[in-house]
Every structure is written in structure tokens, then in C-alpha cells.
């Protein structure tokens, strides 16, 4: 805690104003239909509900959650318990608060730069508050909303640890890292960031360095290890099923580079440079880190270097992990924890230009730099305005937007007593079915899973709800099911249909 809260508040009044503005900006997007809900959101939300109702870490269908760490659902459950409000209803306010905290913490960090300047801070705060990258994340019920806040807290706590290198500061650092690791598996990069910084820190003597690295590492991974052990006990998999990647290193560099192009406010015409942009950023940041570690040692413990180190650790981890394991294509959501390190890491030198009076042609450089920054902010605003123009009429993309709100199939599914008791329910979108009905269900069997196919065709009666908008090539289609089981249409519309099979009605 700051020694003088009033002085602290005055010093960071600009960050506080930006934080309040960010809260309202984020909620502006959600005012039509509420928070954006994706399949992952439903996993988190249903687990939080079950934790409060049944005291189990199970998602819909009463299955243990293992594909995601458990802290974010626990966090939602705690907020739900305190407020007695469902996460779906509370979502806009919660995301707004987390986004405001994020902006404020970014302001605190910039105030602690080697050359803090108000002009640079104001421009950077504006760029963060209307960042299309962050607004996409903070209008959804996603664990990144909490994880990104944890990363900024990590930066602040690590800087505090460097003041004295005492055990108390190290324990706080390890505790926050542990919570982050139990929020997103990718938070293991914070452990790597702390380890790299300690390893190359010339102020730590070898014996003390070894002890601190081991203590920090042990505390940091404690909750993650406990989570993986729990997962192994309940499902025999540490983090859920994982499959070999289908994308090469170069392809993943391209995907990352396209996200960086978007962050630079470039157009799709520049996507051809994506691999080169990725390589230049990673090599450039590594070069700065090594320069600070071995030559400019006075800057090694700066906020700027801490941020750069995290960019290296997280960027390389995501690049290599996507090349080894299969998951969704690297996109803005997965890379969003890098946006603030990307922005500050690429521009912190502007603070030196604004501050140092020894630089030749300083005033013209300030004017040119400020104009470029304002142009960047204006291009962000254009992207935001286009998104708001689209989403203001149908809602944030996801299960709360009008493509679902006005769906005849969804309206039919919400009718009471639609399904006969005792009938298994199969569909190709279990998360969506739960969201609209509150009921658990099973996926239509995977074509490659003999066990699922055998279990499915052994059923003497069942329902199938098929969402035509989301065909999954890995699952059986309706036509393939009908080749072996005659299905009785209960309700059919352009969005999909509800079908019944009963062996006794053959």
C-alpha cells in the first residue's frame, strides 16, 4: 500500500480518469445484449454455478473441468456468492471493473518508467483505453480478463522485489504468479519471466540467486501442480486431451504476425510481411534484453526491461506450443496478454525523447512523435467505431447476440416440457444447448471414436438437436445418423432442428 494514499491518488489521477473512461467504453459495447458469451465462457460460467449450488468443480453435464485451470471459475463463483448475482448478469460490470483496474495499473507502471513523462503516459493510456485488441477481450466472459490484470500486478510486484530482494516481496510475487498459473495455463510464462530476470540479475549473488529462483518457482507452480494432480485423479489427463499440432513454425509465425499487423493498425495488405514482423519483434526484444543484461545494467531492473522479458517469454511460448500442440489458430484473444507489453515495449523510447533536454532537435521530434501517436489512436478509434456500428444493432458476437436471440430454434428449445424425461439428448453444440436450456447433453459421436459410436447406437431412444450454423466435420451428420436410425422431426427451421428416435415407434 502507498504510504500516503492522497499523494498517490493525485499522482495517478490521470490513470484513474482513463480507468473510469475505460469502464464506460467497455460497457458501451455490451449495453444492447450484455456480455459476449463463447463456448469457453459457458464452461467457466456453468462451473461457477455448480460450485455455488453443488460445491463441485464440474461444468454443465456434471463433468469435471480439466481443459481449463480452475481459478477463474472459482473467482466467478466467489463474486456470484458475494453479490448473489449470476455471472451472466454481472458480466458487464465485472469486465468493466477489471478493464478499469488494468488501465490504472498500466498508468502506475508508466509512472515508474526510467523517464516518466505525462505526455507519453496520456497518449499510451488513451491507446490502451480504446484498444480494439483489449476491447474484444473485455467484452467477453473470458479468463484473459483476469489473467492480463495478474500480469500487470506481476510487473509491479517484481519491481518492488528489486528494491530490497527480501523474502516477503518474493513470497507476494510467487503468490500472485501462482494465482495467474491457475487462471491460464499459459501463465507458466510468468514463472519463466521471473526466472530469466533473476538468472541474469547481476545484483544477486549466486547462492542467493539459486535460492530465490527455487523458492519463487516452487511457490509459483504450486497451484498449477495441484490442479494438474486433481485433473489426473478425476479424468486421468493432466490438462485434458491434447493432439499433435497441424501447423508449422512458419505458419504460426505468420498467424502471430497478422495479429501484430492489426495491433500496428495496418491493413490486411501488409499480412504478407507477417512472418518478418514476428521475427523482427522477437529478435529486437531479445537484443534489448541482452543489452540491458550485459551492457546497460542500470536499466536491467526497470519496468521497461521487465515488460520486454515477459514479451519474449510469452511470445516464444505461444509460438512453440502452437507448433507442438493443436488448439485454435493463434489469434488476438490468445495473444492479448502481449498487447500492453507490445505497446510499451515498442514505444517507451518516446518517453526518453519527451523527457531528455539533451537530445538535438527535441521539440520537432516531440511534435512528430505526438502526431504519429495521435494518428495511431485515431486509427484505433476508427476500428472501434466500425465494430460498434456493427455490434450496436445485434450485440457482442456470441450466444447473446441477435443471431441467437431471434433464432426460432432457440425459442423452441426454451419451451418448458419440450423433452420427454429419460431420453438422452445429443447435439453438435453442447455449450450452446446448455446456455439456452440449462440442461446437460452429449455430443453426437465422433466419427473416429468407436466407443462413442457403439454407445450412441446402443440407445433405444434419444433426441438430437442439430444446429445447422455449426457443422463439425469430426462428428456424424444428421444424414449419416438417419442411415441407421429413422429420426422423427419434432421442429425444423433454417437454423436447425429437433429430432426424436424411439425404437418402439419403428
DSSP string, 400-427: TSHHHHT-HHHHHHTSTT-S-TT--EEE
**Sheet hosting strand 496-502, strand order edge to edge:** 442-443, 425-427, 461-467, 496-502, 488-493
**479 CB-near residues (< 8 Å, 6+ apart):** none
State the pLDDT at residue 109: 97
Of 122, 124, 123, 129, the C-alpha closest to 103 is 129
How sure is the predictor about 506, in pLDDT bands with cuts at 50, 70 and 90? Answer: low
CA dihedral 60→61→62→65, nearest 10 degrees, is -60
State the pLDDT at residue 289: 97
Q: Give the tens place of pLDDT for each residue, 291-303.
A: 999 999 999 999 9
Q: Give the tens place of pLDDT for each residue, 396-412.
A: 999 999 999 999 999 99
State the pLDDT at residue 2: 67
1: pLDDT strictly greater than 60: no
Phi and psi angles of residue 144, each rounded to the nearest 5 degrees, phi first: -60, -30
Q: What is the mean pLDDT of the chain?
A: 93
23: pLDDT strictly greater than 60: yes
Neighbours of 494 (CB within 10 A): 10
Higher-scoring residue by pLDDT: 369, 174: 174
Domain spans of the chain?
A: 243-355, 407-505
Higher-scoring residue by pLDDT: 503, 56: 56
Decide if 169 contacts 215 (C-beta within 8 A): no
Query: Which of 142-151, 174-183, 352-361 bottoms out in mean pLDDT, i.e. has the lowest?
Result: 352-361
Higher-scoring residue by pLDDT: 470, 148: 148
What is the arithmetic mean of pLDDT over 317-333? 92
Decide if 179 contacts 189 (C-beta within 8 A): no
In the chain, the percentage of residues whose pLDDT exceeds 90 is 82
Q: Give the tens place of pLDDT for each residue, 195-250.
A: 999 999 999 999 999 999 999 999 999 999 999 999 999 988 888 777 788 899 99
Which runs of E-coded beta strand occur in 214-340?
A: none
State the pLDDT at residue 243: 74
State the pLDDT at residue 292: 96
Which runs of E-coded beta strand occur in 17-146?
A: 58-59, 63-64
- Alpha-carbon distance of 354 to 242, in angstroms, equals 49
137: pLDDT strictly greater than 70: yes
Terminal CA-CA length for the chain: 72
Enclosing H/E stretch for 492: strand 488-493
Amino acid at each position: 500500500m502507498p504510504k500516503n494514499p492522497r499523494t498517490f491518488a493525485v499522482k495517478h489521477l490521470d490513470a484513474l480518469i482513463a480507468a473510469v473512461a475505460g469502464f464506460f467504453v467497455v460497457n458501451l459495447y455490451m449495453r444492447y445484449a450484455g456480455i459476449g458469451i463463447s463456448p469457453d465462457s459457458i464452461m467457466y460460467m456453468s462451473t461457477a454455478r455448480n460450485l455455488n449450488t453443488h460445491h463441485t468443480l464440474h461444468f454443465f453435464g456434471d463433468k469435471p473441468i480439466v481443459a481449463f485451470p480452475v481459478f477463474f471459475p472459482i473467482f466467478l463463483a466467489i463474486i456470484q456468492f458475494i453479490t448473489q448475482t449470476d455471472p451472466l448478469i454481472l458480466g458487464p460490470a465485472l469486465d468493466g471493473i477489471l478493464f478499469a483496474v488494468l488501465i490504472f495499473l498500466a498508468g502506475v507502471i508508466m509512472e515508474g518508467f526510467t523517464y516518466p513523462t505525462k505526455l507519453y503516459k496520456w497518449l499510451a493510456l488513451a491507446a490502451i483505453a480504446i484498444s480494439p485488441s483489449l476491447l474484444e477481450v473485455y467484452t467477453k466472459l473470458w479468463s484473459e480478463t483476469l489473467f492480463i490484470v495478474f500480469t500487470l500486478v506481476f510487473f509491479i510486484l517484481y519491481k518492488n522485489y528489486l528494491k530490497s530482494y527480501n523474502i516477503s516481496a518474493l513470497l507476494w510475487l510467487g503468490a500472485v504468479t501462482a494465482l495467474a498459473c491457475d487462471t491460464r495455463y499459459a501463465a507458466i510464462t510468468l514463472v519463466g519471466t521471473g526466472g530469466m530476470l533473476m538468472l541474469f540479475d547481476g545484483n544477486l549473488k549466486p547462492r542467493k540467486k539459486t535460492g530465490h529462483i527455487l523458492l519463487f518457482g516452487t511457490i509459483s507452480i504450486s497451484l498449477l501442480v495441484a490442479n494438474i494432480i486433481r485433473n489426473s485423479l478425476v479424468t486421468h489427463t493432466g490438462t485434458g486431451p491434447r493432439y499433435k499440432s497441424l501447423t508449422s513454425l512458419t505458419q504460426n509465425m505468420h498467424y502471430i504476425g497478422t495479429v501484430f499487423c492489426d495491433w500496428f493498425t495496418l491493413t490486411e495488405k501488409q499480412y504478407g510481411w507477417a512472418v518478418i514482423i514476428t521475427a523482427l519483434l522477437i529478435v529486437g526484444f531479445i537484443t534489448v534484453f541482452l543489452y540491458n543484461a550485459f551492457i546497460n545494467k542500470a536499466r536491467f531492473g526497470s519496468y521497461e526491461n521487465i515488460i520486454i522479458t515477459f514479451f519474449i517469454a510469452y511470445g516464444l511460448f505461444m509460438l512453440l506450443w502452437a507448433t507442438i500442440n493443436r488448439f485454435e489458430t493463434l489469434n488476438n484473444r490468445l495473444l492479448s496478454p502481449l498487447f500492453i507489453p507490445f505497446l510499451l515495449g515498442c514505444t517507451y523510447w518516446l518517453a526518453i525523447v519527451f523527457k531528455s533536454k539533451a537530445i538535438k532537435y527535441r521539440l520537432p521530434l516531440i511534435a512528430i512523435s505526438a502526431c504519429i501517436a495521435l494518428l495511431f489512436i485515431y486509427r484505433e478509434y476508427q476500428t472501434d467505431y466500425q465494430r460498434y456500428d456493427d455490434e450496436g444493432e445485434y450485440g457482442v458476437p456470441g450466444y447473446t447476440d441477435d443471431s441467437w436471440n431471434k433464432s426460432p430454434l432457440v425459442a423452441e428449445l426454451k419451451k418448458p416440457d419440450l423433452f420427454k424425461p429419460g431420453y438422452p439428448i445429443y447435439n453438435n453444440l453442447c455449450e450452446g444447448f446448455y446456455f439456452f436450456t440449462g440442461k446437460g447433453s452429449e455430443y453426437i459421436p465422433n466419427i473416429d471414436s468407436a466407443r462413442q459410436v457403439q454407445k450412441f447406437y446402443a440407445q433405444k431412444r434419444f433426441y438430437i438437436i442439430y444446429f445447422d450454423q455449426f457443422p463439425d466435420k469430426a462428428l456424424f451428420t444428421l444424414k449419416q445418423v438417419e442411415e441407421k436410425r429413422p429420426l422423427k422431426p419434432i421442429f425444423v427451421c433454417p437454423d436447425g432442428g429437433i429430432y426424436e428416435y424411439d425404437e418402439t415407434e419403428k
